[in-house]
């Protein structure tokens, strides 16, 4: 179907240069990439996530390649994650424009009445499209409009969602090195024009791992920043060699920030309630509980909704409005959110995981300064060398749809918030 829609589009686009054959035959794939980029009506869009790259990390001066992109592109003061400030909910918010409560990925760990349990390490759940089909990821919209897409990892990209997938995708494997990930993206850009993706994602996780294990202020996070920037530098060099650096639109962002959580900052939930009386969906920064048959859940709610030290608990119908959270059936009946710098856990868990407790966490109040994320954009669509105000991450979806020249699906974002980062003269692409 894709070739057909592409052919139809080609016949409708007045200046269908992206579809026409070239008069000179390129001698290498990289030359072909450059030629096509020159001729194509739309530059490709590369969306890069550096998991847990907090907005202020860039000021440490350990990310020279990223700083160079920021200096010659758009650098937002920060980007606000959606609530909860966790990896899967936010990666999916970015590519759907829907907050987690609306995109269905309400937590990294969740339950659904029909589908059962979901967790990041459950390959079967992660690749089951039924978990993801409350939102339509951008790669699907791209596909529906005749554009190819490729994902070098992204939550949701391994699933067949509403019978569509990225054209090229990889099952998540944390052992694939940052360089290998970059090389794969460059290889996709080297594909012949009729196979080359227009929308590509790239994902790095070392900064998140170091942040959890050693805390955001650790030398290990600094090393992860350097290592990730080396991969960014490999990417930038590869693009430059292909004469693509100024012809590709690049967005580099993070899903959330990271806060330091001292080992002793524990809210021991099992000291407050008997966990035998509830179904525990998740613990950690955002704990979730569902009623258990024959137990008085109202009494437990009444108890936990009283003011608590270092956490707040709400029945899902009473979660403060600004979190935009609680309407989805997958949100547990009672949620407890730790204050920044604290974890909700049990004595049993602490005893069993001695020496393996995360001292960096995220998932907290999405307005907290420590949860704010990186946003940098560079390329022909973006203005050069501007600082931009902070904005919510769901705005990235309509921004990306605009840059690709495709109509966005219904979403929670506001294009008006981010329009100012685009070059005024850049016309919306035609397809
Ligand atoms: P968390 O810090 O709990 O929010 O989860 C982030 C971690 O999820 C990352 O550090 C990765 O190890 C892992 N992760 C990222 N993408 C995927 C994926 N597509 N499938 C499974 N795990 C992933
Ligand atoms: Zn993350
Ligand atoms: Zn994390």
- Look at the block and give the residue holding tokens 């939550």: 155
**Alpha-carbon span 277 to 263, nearest angstrom:** 27
Ramachandran category for residue 276: left, alpha or beta (phi over 0 → left; psi -120 to 50 → alpha): alpha
Q: Does one domain contain both 226 and 346? A: no
What percent of the chain shows pLDDT beyond 70?
89
Condensed to tens digits (0 to 9), the pLDDT of residues 284-307 reads 999 999 999 999 999 999 999 999
| Residue 36 clears pLDDT 60, i.e. is over it | no
* Residues 317, 241 share a domain: no
pLDDT tier, 16 (very low <50, low <70, confident <90, very high otherwise): very low
What is the distance between the alpha carbons of residues 232 and 235, in angstroms, rounded to a whole number?
Answer: 5
| Residue 169 shares a structural domain with residue 302 | no
Shared domain for 305 and 353, answered yes or no, is yes
- Is the residue at 319 inside a domain? yes
pLDDT band at 425 (very low <50, low <70, confident <90, very high): low
Residue-number span of the structural domain to which 401 is assigned:
3-260+367-421
CB 158 within 8 A of CB 171: yes
The reply to whether 218 and 293 lie within a common domain is no
| Residue 247 C-beta-side C-alpha neighbours within 13 Å | 19
In a domain, 252, yes or no: yes
Are 215 and 360 in contact by the 8 Å Cβ rule? The answer is yes
Instruction: Residue count of the chain, please give it.
Output: 431
Digit-coded pLDDT (tens) for 219-250: 999 999 999 999 999 999 999 999 999 999 99
Q: How far is the C-alpha of 354 from the C-alpha of 349, rounded, in Å?
A: 8
- The DSSP output letter for 382 is B
Judge whether 431 lies within some domain: no
Same domain, 14 and 139: yes
Q: 92: Cβ below 6 Å to ligand 1?
A: no
pLDDT digits (tens, 9 = 90+) for 112-154: 999 999 999 999 999 999 999 999 999 999 999 999 999 999 9
φ, ψ of residue 270 to 5 degrees: the values are: -70, -10
Q: Mean pLDDT score of the chain, rounded to an integer? A: 91
Alpha-carbon span 145 to 138, nearest angstrom: 11
Contact at 8 Å (CB) between 172 and 126? yes
Active-site position among 24, 27, 87, 151: 87
Q: Does ligand 1 lie within 6 Å of residue 358's CB atom?
A: no
Pocket test of ligand 1: the residue of 47, 120, 254 to mutate, having most ligand atoms within 8 Å of its CB, is 120
User: What contacts 181, CB < 8 A, 6 or more positions away?
Assistant: 152, 153, 202, 203, 204, 231
| CATH number of the domain residue 83 falls in | 3.40.720.10
The pLDDT value given to residue 11: 30
Give the integer Cα–Cα distance in Å for 417 and 427: 18
pLDDT at 33: 46
Q: How many helices (H) and strands (E) does the chain have?
A: 15, 20
Could you tell me which residue, 33 or 108, shows the higher pLDDT? 108
Q: Is the CB of 126 within 6 Å of ligand 1?
A: yes
Report which DSSP code applies to 112: E
Question: Which residue CA neighbors atom 21 of ligand 1 most closely?
Answer: 120
What's the gap in Å between 119 CA and the centre of ligand 1? 10
Q: Can you tell me the distance from the alpha carbon of 36 to that of 310, in angstroms, rounded to the nearest whole number?
A: 56
Closest to 67 (Cα-Cα) out of 259, 205, 233, 183: 233
Q: Is 395 found in the same domain as 343?
A: no
pLDDT digits (tens, 9 = 90+) for 389-418: 999 999 999 999 999 999 999 999 999 999
Predicted local distance difference test score (pLDDT) of residue 350: 96
pLDDT tens figures, 37-72:
433 457 999 999 999 999 999 999 999 999 999 999
Same domain, 282 and 395: no
- Can you tell me which residue has the tokens 């693009």? 239
87 lines ligand 1 (CB under 6 A): yes
Average pLDDT over residues 14-36: 37
Q: CA neighbours within 13 Å on the CB side: how many for 31? A: 6
Task: Return the closest-CA partner of residue 50 out of 138, 123, 153, 159.
Answer: 153
Question: Is pLDDT of 85 > 50?
Answer: yes
Angle at 96 between CA 91 and CA 100, to 5 degrees: 60
Q: Assign 202 to helix, strand or coil.
A: strand
- Dihedral of the alpha carbons of 418, 420, 425, 431, in degrees to the nearest 10: 10
Q: What is the pLDDT of residue 98?
A: 98
117 CB neighbour count, 10 Å cutoff? 11
- Cα first-last separation, the chain: 16
Which of 47, 49, 88, 158 for a ligand 1 pocket mutation test, highest count of atoms within 8 Å of Cβ?
88
- 350 domain residue, yes or no: yes
Are 183 and 222 part of one and the same domain?
A: yes
Tell me the two tokens of residue 280: 């525990």
The predicted pLDDT at position 42 comes to 78
Ligand 1 near 159 CB (within 6 A): no
Q: What is the number of the ligand 1 atom nearest to the C-alpha of 86?
A: 4
- 146-181 tens-digit pLDDT: 999 999 999 999 999 999 999 999 999 999 999 999
Q: Which of 22-36, 88-102, 198-212 has the lowest mean pLDDT?
A: 22-36
Check whether 31 has a pLDDT greater than 70.
no
Ligand 1 within 6 A of CB of 42: no
How many independent structural domains does the chain possess?
2
Strand partners, 117: 111
Same domain, 289 and 153: no
Pairing of strands 286-291, 278-282: antiparallel
Closest atom, ligand 1, to C-alpha of 155 = 19
Last residue of a domain, one of 325, 357, 389: 357
Domain finish residue from 357, 380, 407: 357
Quick check: 261 and 341 in contact, CB under 8 A?
A: yes
Instruction: State which of 357, 382, 408 marks the end of a domain.
Output: 357
In this predicted structure, the answer to whether residue 21 has a pLDDT above a threshold of 90 is no
Q: Which residues contact 198 (CB under 8 A, 6 or more apart)?
A: 42, 44, 45, 142, 147, 148, 149, 404
The pLDDT of residue 38: 36
φ/ψ of 249, rounded to 5, equals -90, 130
Give the confidence band of 428 by pLDDT, cuts at 50, 70, 90: low
Cα separation, 13 vs 11, whole angstroms: 6
* DSSP 8-state secondary structure symbol assigned to residue 54: B
Ramachandran bin of 310, using left for φ above 0, alpha for ψ from -120 to 50, beta for the remaining angles: left
């Amino acid at each position: 179907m894709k070739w057909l829609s592409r052919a139809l589009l080609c016949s409708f686009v007045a200046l269908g240069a992206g579809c026409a054959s070239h008069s000179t035959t390129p001698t290498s794939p990289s030359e072909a990439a450059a030629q096509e980029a020159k001729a194509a009506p739309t530059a490709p869009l590369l969306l890069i996530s550096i998991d847990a790259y907090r907005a202020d990390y860039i000021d440490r001066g350990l990310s020279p390649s990223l700083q160079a992109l920021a200096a010659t592109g758009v650098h937002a003061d920060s980007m606000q994650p959606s609530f909860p400030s966790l990896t899967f909910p936010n990666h999916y918010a970015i590519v759907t424009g829907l907050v987690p409560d609306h995109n269905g990925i309400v937590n990294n760990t969740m339950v659904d009445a029909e589908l059962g349990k979901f967790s990041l390490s459950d390959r079967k759940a992660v690749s089951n499209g039924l978990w993801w089909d409350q939102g339509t990821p951008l790669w699907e919209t791209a596909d529906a409009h005749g554009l190819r897409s490729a994902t070098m990892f992204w939550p949701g990209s391994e699933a067949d969602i509403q019978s569509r997938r990225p054209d090229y995708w990889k099952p998540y494997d944390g052992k694939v090195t940052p360089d290998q990930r970059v090389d794969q993206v460059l290889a996709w850009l080297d594909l012949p024009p009729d196979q080359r993706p227009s929308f590509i994602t790239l994902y790095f996780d070392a900064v998140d791992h170091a942040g959890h294990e050693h805390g955001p202020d650790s030398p290990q996070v600094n090393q992860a920043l350097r290592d990730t920037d080396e991969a960014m530098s490999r990417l930038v060099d590869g693009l430059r060699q292909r004469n693509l650096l100024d012809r590709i639109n690049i967005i580099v962002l993070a899903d959330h920030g990271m806060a330091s959580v001292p080992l002793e900052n524990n809210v021991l939930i099992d000291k407050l309630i008997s966990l035998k009386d509830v179904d525990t969906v998740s613990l950690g920064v955002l704990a979730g509980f569902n009623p258990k048959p024959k137990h008085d859940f109202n009494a437990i709610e009444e108890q936990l909704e009283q003011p608590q030290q270092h956490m707040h608990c709400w029945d899902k119908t009473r979660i403060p409005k600004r979190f935009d959270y609680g309407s989805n059936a997958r949100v547990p009946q009672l949620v407890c959110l730790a204050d920044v710098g604290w974890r909700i856990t049990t004595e049993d868990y602490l005893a069993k995981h001695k020496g393996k407790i995360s001292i960096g966490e995220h998932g907290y109040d999405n307005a907290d300064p420590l949860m704010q994320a990186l946003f940098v954009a560079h390329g022909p669509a973006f203005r050069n060398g501007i600082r931009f105000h902070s904005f919510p991450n769901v705005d990235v979806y309509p921004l990306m749809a605009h840059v690709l020249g495709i109509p966005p699906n219904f979403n929670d974002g506001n294009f008006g918030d981010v329009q100012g980062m685009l070059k005024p003269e850049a016309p919306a692409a035609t397809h």
